[in-house]
Amino acid sequence: MVACSRKVGKYEHLPLAEIDTMTLKPGVKSILRKYIKAHPKYQTLLLEQKKLPFEDNFIDQPPYQFIIGPAVAQLFDSGEFGFQRSYPASYFVLDNRLILVQSEIDELIPKSKKLVDTYNQLAEPLDSFYETTPYPTVYPAKSYIIHAWVFKTSRTYATELLTTRADTFILPKRVYLNLPPIKTSAKARKAKAV
């Protein structure tokens, strides 16, 4: 779906592999541009492929689901509050936004201080999410999911935006149940009182 190219420009110093934006599908670029327009505050974004629940199964076949959201500080290696995966090892630039790409291939690359420092230097500060989050959170993963979009694509399927609220798509659904008061017999109330 994408190809790497020779690094040029202001990000050439990064210890990451650059992806040639020209090789991205037009539908993918369209969704990414819509996200950038809807969230102009974020300068660094994180794009990752996910195995998401779909009809009660986790699917690993086309079309694939992707999540685009802000690259949140402390998102990786922050225990139960973040992701326990490898740091992104590739990137591309679209509309003057740096988009870090995290994929399963990153698991082949050993964790290095350069990758960790690069991500932490480029990531959006966690405290910048308080004003736009419906409830204050110090959980980096929640800050990412609350502000992320989900789309699907593959070589043989058209690119489609699934939701602009990844939190409602990914996280478990809370079901509220209002039960009527339970009426017991006088005999049961007497037995309980004794």
The ranges assigned to domains in the chain are 17-193
Q: Is 96 left (phi over 0), alpha (psi -120 to 50) or beta?
A: left
Q: What is the DSSP letter of 141?
A: H
pLDDT at position 125? 79
Q: Write b or e for each residue in 166-192: b if 16 or more Cβ atoms lie within 10 A of its Cβ, otherwise e.
A: beebbeeeeeeeeeeeeeeeeeeeeee
Residues of the chain with pLDDT under 50: 1-3, 5-7, 56
For residue 37, what pLDDT is reported?
A: 97
Buried b (16+ CB within 10 A) or exposed e, 7-39: eeeeeeebebbbbebeebeeebbebbeebbeeb
Predicted pLDDT of residue 63: 76
Strands (DSSP E) found in the chain: 17-18, 44-50, 53-54, 57-58, 64-70, 90-94, 97-102, 149-153, 160-163
Q: Whole-prediction pTM value?
A: 0.74
Q: What is the pLDDT of residue 77?
A: 67
